[in-house]
Chains A and B, each alone.
Chain A
Amino acid sequence: MDALTELLNGFVTAAHPTNLLYAFVGVLLGTAIGVLPGIGPAMAIALLLPLTYSLEPTQAFIMFAGIYYGGMYGGSTTSILLNTPGESASVVTAIEGNKMARKGRAAAALATAAIGSFIAGTIGTLCLALLAPAIVQLAVKMGAPDYFAVMVLAFVAVTTVLGSSKVRGVAALAIGLLIGLIGIDPTSGQQRLTLGLPELADGIDVVVVAVGLFAVGEALWIAAHLRRTPADIITVGAARMSREDWRRSWKPWLRGTAIGFPFGAIPAGGAEIPTFLSYVTEKKLSKHPEEFGHGAIEGVAGPEATNNASAAGGLVPLLTLGIPTTATAAVMLGAFQSYGIQPGPRLLETQPELVWGLVASLFIGNAILLALNLPLAPIWAKLLRIPRPYLYAGILFFASIGAYAANLSTFDLWLLLLLGALGFAMRRFGLPVVPAIIGIILGPVAEEQLRRALQISDGQLSGLYDTWFSKTVYFVILLVLVVPPVVNSVRKRRKPTDRELQPSERAGD
């Protein structure tokens, strides 16, 4: 197999001690940067780019590969421990991850994230090496109607995260959709809900909203109640994943990979949507759905595998067609160009050494990531033993640095505080925070794709379902909506066999 020999040559390039060192430095930097909210992997690469001009292109790209994966993983650490997602791909991880941490299972959550990331990254990179040309042909065929169909599916799935009171859940979702509307409408150029503030014209970043609602809102809530509740210190618990954790994690890892990789390859909205889809899939399939919302390990394993798989997927169109699908890929494209390399359909022919070196270093970077982070997990987890006043002060400090560092503007700090106040109010009045975040993630993308699809079809509604992919998705949606009620009514009639039926049915899907 041609690709395999090329890949082995790539390993020879990447395994050079100097290159290994660059991969290590990249992973270390990436993890550190991913930990900080506000500075994502895209910004990290852009800012480090001038420092790498003195390096050979191969070495620079090996380092970038490390930053890319490291950043994807690093974001999850603060998500789990402090409820402050470092970047948008790890927003969903915070939902269950932080709950686990507060039950004393931080180390297990971090471990499942690290191993899941490794497995997903490895499978993803393997797919990248072997299947890239085939996948990219499929990805290019996807258009606005197809993306919109997936968004409809996502909205149907939202009902599973609405919480116990549907009315409150929908209200929270509406808050999220409303925040998502802020900014300039790309089609007409009109400002919406910007209150004349230029800082709001580009909309509010989902990371700022997530950190505001999750972390700041919670810190304010804890501060308001600290007097009345004793400051119990969180137990650290077992440092490793138990047999049970492994058993519950491996399927979500694989499913997350399967969801994340294709999503990374198509140019529609990065890792937020696949991580969310992975979360609801795990919730649907879990044998312990009641644990979701209280720290279910599947809810960490799935999304974390998804975001690393989508990082690998994102390189498919970049390396085969020169098309960046994420901000990080766009920056890497710019980096290629500053070395006088034009990524495009001919990159594999003109620069095989660089491409395969990069792919091989993704494997190596991934392994380094695991080696670096797995032993660190119990150490990070000890962070939670800090007495609560200090811990939450630290979280506020971290959140503020993140908000400020992204744009060096005090406006973002005020925005963060305002969102924190909103998060506090939502807790006070019993509105769940998660649907609001999902609203911000889904709303703008769904609107964009809907309008684009209708524009391309010149206003014909048939333009929304005239592709085989969108038809398939709508069919799946129909099944999701129709089958469970039917199954339930059948079960009710055959109540005695209900218990026996359940496990075998689960195994089937």
Chain B
Amino acid sequence: MQARTWFTSITAAVTLAVLAAGCGVSADDNASGGTSSGPVEGLRILVPNSPGSGYDTTARAAAKAMQDAKLTDTVEVFNTAGAGGTVGLQRLVNEKGKDDILMQMGLGVVGAVFTNKSKATLQDTVPIARMVSEAEAIVVPKGSPYTSLEQLVTAWKADPGKVPVGGASNAGGPDHLTPMLLAKAVGVQPKSVNYVAYDGGGELLTAILGKKVAFAATGIGEVAEQAKSGDVKILAVTSEQPVEGIDAPTLKSLDVDLVFTNWRGIVGPPGLSAEKQQQYNELLTKMHESSQWKQTLADQGWTDSFQTGDEFKTFLTSENDRVAGVLRELGLVA
């Protein structure tokens, strides 16, 4: 009797867990259907980090937009986290020849391939589309002695060690690369930059507000609200164009030759047929045009930077070279 009660409760718990863990596992049943007309069937999207992360949110929002616009049947989004996304990347590369799987990725994975010395690289994958991008903000706390980028740069040049810069990513991530590239652009040795890595945007923001770091580089979305309330001041944004709703100049307009944004996109496994590539390009183009996706962009405050196929491939190559260059200079890559 006891054994049965116990078994029932475990079964119930497991059922709940499965329910929670894989909403939509059933999509596997009719894998690799999907002719170019009609909805794409049995698509899986691999997210190379944990639920709730930026990649995860993007992938799940994209999957929902595709489903709602009837471009696909149920899309299975699953997470294989680890090593800045390279564990997931390796898994995608291992799925060579499959045509029902795509991977969500972004700038962070480009850097992680180098810092993790990953065997699988993004050159192994098939670039499908870039979806969104986000400018990085050069930000100081309220009451900082630096009220302009120029003042900050003067102090930074004088003694880089005394001007610690905070960021919410590990070495090789967007928040780390931004101050390094900025240092190069204004004539500070990247190696002398005192970069303090924080564990996520929350910790970083506390450090900025508490004036623990002289300045910080981080995604504009992390500090937009605090900038509006006046708790932090954004000295500059790293995008080509000024960011809507943010009262801050671009680096270019301040005569600093640097444009660098964080971005997220989708790649496919090695050996994806030309026909399938075309189908996925079309799928993402249609998703991009859908009203559901437009609504998501507005709600999340993401900047649309849609790009597909060869254009995205060229972009990916140039980003890869740029990141490799910085990391080589820092001695992180041989």
Q: Scan residues 97-120 of chain B and give those whose CB is less than 8 A from a CB of chain A.
A: 115-118
Q: Are A385 and B52 neighbours in the complex by a CB distance under 8 Å?
A: no
Whether the pair A202, B83 counts as a contact (CB closer than 8 A) is yes
B80 interface residue (CB < 8 Å to A): yes
Question: Which of B14, B82, B207 lies in contact with A198, CB distance below 8 A?
Answer: B82
| In the bound complex, CA of A47 to CA of B76 (Å) | 12
Q: B320 contacts the other chain (Cβ, under 8 Å)? A: no
Q: Are B50 and A43 in contact (CB under 8 A)?
A: yes
Chain B residues within an 8 Å CB radius of A39: 17, 20-21
CA separation between A132 and B233, bound complex, in Å? 24
> A374 contacts the other chain (Cβ, under 8 Å)?
no
Complex contacts, B69 vs chain A, CB 8 Å: none
| B1-23 residues at the A interface, CB under 8 angstroms | 2-3, 5-6, 9-10, 12-14, 16-17, 20-21, 23
Q: Which of chain B's residues have a CB closer than 8 A to the CB of A397? A: 10
**Shortest Cβ gap from B82 to chain A (Å):** 5
| 316-373 of chain A: CB within 8 A of chain B | 317, 321-325, 327, 329-331, 333-334, 337-340, 342-346
Known A47-B21, A405-B21; judge A344-B82 contact (CB<8 A): no
- Flag B161-191 by CB within 8 Å of A: 1 or 0 each: 1101000001110000000000000000000
- B220-249, CB under 8 A of A: which get 1 and which 0? 010011101101000000000000000000
Shortest CB distance B166–A (Å): 9
The contact size tier of chain A is: 35 or more
User: Are B332 and A323 in contact (CB-based, < 8 A)?
Assistant: no
Q: Which residues from chain B contact A171 at a C-beta distance below 8 Å?
A: none
Asked if residues A344 and B170 are in contact (CB atoms below 8 Å), the reply is no
- Give chain A residues whose Cβ lies under 8 Å from the Cβ of B140: none
Contact status A186-B171, CB under 8 Å: yes
Task: Please tell me which stretch of B33-41, B55-63, B267-275, B311-319 contacts chain A, meaning at least 4 of its Cβ atoms lie within 8 angstroms of it.
Answer: B55-63
**Is there contact, CB below 8 Å, between B56 and A46?**
yes
Given A338-B57, A346-B228, A386-B2: A184 and B116 interface contact (C-beta under 8 Å): yes
Q: CA of A428 to CA of B266 in the docked complex: distance in angstroms?
A: 50
Q: Whole-angstrom distance between the alpha carbons of A456 and B10 in the complex?
A: 50
Is B200 positioned at the interface, with any CB of A under 8 Å from its CB?
yes
CB of A507 within 8 Å of the partner chain: no
Q: Once the chains are docked, how many angstroms separate the CA of A153 from the CA of B298?
A: 47
A135 at the interface (CB under 8 A from B): no
In the bound complex, how far is the Cα of B10 from the Cα of A190, in angstroms?
A: 42
B255 at the interface (CB under 8 A from A): no
Is the beta-carbon distance between B82 and A202 smaller than 8 angstroms? yes
Tell me the nearest residue of chain A to B20, going by C-beta: A47
Q: Is the CB of B210 within 8 A of A142?
A: yes
Do residues B299 and A390 form an inter-chain contact, with CB atoms below 8 A? no
CA distance A45 to B83 in the complex (A): 23
Chain B residues with CB under 8 Å of A187's CB are 171, 195-197
In the complex the two chains form, what is the Cα distance from A336 to B53 in whole Å? 14
Of the candidate stretches B84-92, B122-130, B257-265, B278-286, the one touching chain A is B84-92
Binary interface profile of A, 455-477, with partner B (CB < 8 Å = 1, else 0)? 11011000000000000000000
B5-A324 in contact (CB<8A): no
By the criterion CB–CB under 8 Å, are B14 and A50 in contact? no
Q: Is A15 an interface residue (CB 8 A)?
A: no
When the two chains form their complex, are residues B164 and A198 in contact, meaning their CB atoms are under 8 A apart?
no
Given A50-B60, A405-B17, CB of A201 within 8 Å of CB of B84: yes
Give me 5 A-to-B residue pairs in the complex whose CB atoms sit less than 8 angstroms apart, sorted by A's number: A50-B64, A198-B86, A266-B206, A322-B205, A331-B52
Going nearest first, the 7 A-B pairs with the smallest beta carbon separation are A344-B225, A189-B171, A46-B51, A201-B83, A331-B52, A46-B52, A345-B229
Known: A187-B197, A331-B52, A408-B79. 13 other contacts (CB 8 A): A42-B52, A139-B206, A142-B210, A143-B210, A184-B170, A321-B231, A327-B50, A334-B57, A338-B299, A386-B3, A394-B10, A408-B80, A458-B194
Q: Give the B-binding residues of A (Cβ under 8 A).
A: 29, 32-33, 35-36, 39, 42-51, 53, 139-144, 184, 186-189, 191, 196, 198-199, 201-202, 266-268, 317, 321-325, 327, 329-331, 333-334, 337-340, 342-346, 379, 382-383, 385-386, 390, 394, 397-398, 401, 405, 407-409, 448, 452, 455-456, 458-459
